[in-house]
Amino acid sequence: GENVEQHPSTLSVQEGDSAVIKCTYSDSASNYFPWYKQELGKRPQLIIDIRSNVGEKKDQRIAVTLNKTAKHFSLHITETQPEDSAVYFCAASIGNYQLIWGAGTKLIIKP
Amino acid sequence: DVKVTQSSRYLVKRTGEKVFLECVQDMDHENMFWYRQDPGLGLRLIYFSYDVKMKEKGDIPEGYSVSREKKERFSLILESASTNQTSMYLCASSLAETWFFGQGTRLTVV
């Protein structure tokens, strides 16, 4: 069946450095790829998304890139700050109303 | 402006009890989902519903059932709670690509 693989499961970076989280999806029909951030004890919230007709999207320190040929997409966070510490989930659309989720990446920002 | 509300943040239940987890959304979304979240396993889909009285099994439906009598409410039922159902349960609702999550219910079965 369809799946999304997400790596790494844990990522520890020095404050101020960049962080990159990668996801690979299996369904070639997927056309929508959101990223969610879940802070400790809180609900997941959308931080950025990208559609299949776009290769890259940027929002301040956050960017997402998509390679449809290779079926992978990545989240890039630059100039990391303590408030970036959280679990990040990628997802890929399947069918008309479902998302398949990655297993999550715990991002730790070291002071 | 809370959009998806789960009835409890924390629950402790005994093995064998019937457990109801309630989820209500105020956005008139047609699609609602129940996920289970465990460390290292991400979000695993238990059941989803795309309309009132409609339900579909997700990836891990065993031991669970659901009810959707009204559009705004989607209930997850553990027919006979077991210790391996101790977990964080997340409800979500969506309309097309717009998704919102509830705050989660941490269920402990003892």
- Whole-angstrom Cα distance, residue A30 to residue A26? 8
Q: Which range among A73-77, A78-82, A91-95, B87-91 shows the weakest confidence by mean pLDDT?
A: A91-95
- Whole-angstrom Cα distance, residue A20 to residue B42? 18
- Whole-angstrom Cα distance, residue A76 to residue A36? 13
Chain B contact for A11 (CB, 8 A cutoff): no
pLDDT tens, position by position, A16-74: 999 999 999 999 999 999 999 999 989 999 999 999 988 999 999 999 999 999 999 99
The CA distance from A92 to the nearest CA of chain B, in Å, is: 11
Tell me which range, A103-107, B1-5, B40-44, is most confidently predicted by mean pLDDT.
Answer: A103-107
CB atoms within 10 A of CB A2: 15
Which pLDDT score is estimated for B31? 93
Indicate if the pLDDT at residue A1 is higher than 80: no
- Whole-angstrom Cα distance, residue A81 to residue A83? 5
The CA distance from A15 to the nearest CA of chain B, in Å, is: 24
Residue of chain B minimizing CA distance to A96: B96
The CA distance from A68 to the nearest CA of chain B, in Å, is: 19
pLDDT band at B2 (very low <50, low <70, confident <90, very high): low
Mutate one of B51, B101, B105 to test the A interface: name it (highest A CB count within 10 A): B101
